[in-house]
Amino acid sequence: MALNDSYLEENLGPKPLLDPARQQKAKEYARLKRRLSLAELALAGSLLLLVILSGLSARLAELISLPPVPAAAAYFIGLMLAYGLLAAPLSYYGGFVLPRRYGLSTQKLSGWLGDTLKAAALGLVLGVAIVAAVYWFLGGWPQLWWLLTWGLVILLSLVLTILGPVVIVPLFYKMEPLRDKGLKERLKNLAGKAKASISNVYTLEFSSKGTAANAALMGAGKTRRIVLSDTLLDKYSPEEIEVIMAHELGHHRNRDFMRIFLYQAIILFVSFWLTHIIAKATVPPLGFSGIDDVAALPLLVLVFAGLSSLIMPLSNTYVRSRERAADDFALRLTGNPQAFITMMTKLTDQNLAEARPSRWIERLLYDHPSYASRLAYASSISAHKSDQGG
């Protein structure tokens, strides 16, 4: 059925309004972030193509007089450091200047640098481990290295999911048990209704670094917990917080972690296989001795990254469908579409999210439905409920 504003107001009450000034800023911010992402992508691609096509990669590999596995690890570290230095101005502008200019960050430069270095160190350690494993697999099982690497990445993803809330998140944010006993009990009861076992409810100190708000169901098994940012607790009613967590619990109830994990595992499987096929075909004309040639490392990175970028819209489409299913679960579990709508309106303005991106931008780049799409769906659920006399 068609939904107009007068019908919605009659059934939902006054329609919440986005702040026009905030939305203008959100459009500007989103446009600048997209341009920065393209610039970073172009820079990375140009660097990799340069070292591959100029013969520089072979000369650099010759300078590392180590066995293949440590040589590949050393080469990767050098490559990442070079990219980090070249991309530093873009990282500084996109990670520090823009968020402060648009009121999303309150961090000082020293704090931002500290977080950036910690994230870079974690990424580098993980990257070095994977590269070392790749060249070890190439040395022993040259036809199956891609399959073994795929298995390793899947295993690491599982470990990081379980350990993330207790090991990684506390490196960046202070986490402590929620002090509001009434809200904690309310959320635990909600988790019980969704048949989700949680260890506790925690608060993350987002306000020490910025103004955005968020909530999540983190971890798995004994580490699974509800996590709320303090910036969420300060501005949202218990009903709004409840519907946010109902969405997160919807992911659990719908087994979205396993669904998305399996879907992405298939995507990764295809990506690693295609990387093997493409790299094997291109190493001879580029002058490399084989895929196991340390000098061919930039080629492997370029092919895999390129395939991942091409496949990303497909992955986003599937993840958006699971987000919609979680919205549906939240609306039906709480029976409170008005709280969902006011929550989404507040969150969109607070986090400076673009409410109505173009259709193609949403399809290609968004892993969540837009505000406009989610609001229309919540409104349709409410209208249907009203028509049924619910």
Point out which residues pair with 342 in neighbouring strands: none
Calculate mean pLDDT across residues 317-322: 94
Q: String of b and e for 92-118 (b: at least 16 CB within 10 Å)?
A: eebbbebbbebebbebeeeebeebbee
- Write down the pTM of the prediction: 0.89
Summarize pLDDT for 56-72 with one digit per residue, the tens: 999 999 999 999 999 99
Confidence band (pLDDT; 50, 70, 90) for 205? very high
Point out the least confidently predicted range of 83-92, 129-138, 194-203.
194-203
Assigned token pair, 250 = 């919807």
Whether 229 has a pLDDT exceeding 60, the answer reads yes
Calculate mean pLDDT across residues 291-312: 95
Summarize pLDDT for 307-317 with one digit per residue, the tens: 999 999 999 99
Calculate mean pLDDT across residues 112-132: 96
pLDDT of residue 197: 86
pLDDT of residue 3: 39
Confidence band (pLDDT; 50, 70, 90) for 7? very low
Calculate mean pLDDT across residues 168-180: 92
Question: Strand 215-218 and strand 225-229: pairing?
Answer: antiparallel
Higher pLDDT, 383 or 274: 274
pLDDT of residue 365: 92
Whether 148 has a pLDDT exceeding 90, the answer reads yes
Residue 262 CB coordination number (10 Å):
12
pLDDT of residue 6: 44
| Mean pLDDT of all residues belonging to the chain | 91
Edge-to-edge order in the sheet of strand 225-229: 175-177, 201-204, 225-229, 215-218
Whether 225 has a pLDDT exceeding 50, the answer reads yes
**Integer-rounded Cα radius of gyration of the chain:** 24
pLDDT of residue 384: 56
Assigned token pair, 182 = 């009434």
Whether 22 has a pLDDT exceeding 90, the answer reads yes
pLDDT of residue 4: 42
Confidence band (pLDDT; 50, 70, 90) for 219? confident
Above pLDDT 70, what percent of the chain?
Answer: 94
- Among 224-228, 277-281, 358-362, the range with the most confident prediction by mean pLDDT is 277-281
Above pLDDT 90, what percent of the chain?
Answer: 81
Calculate mean pLDDT across residues 32-49: 96
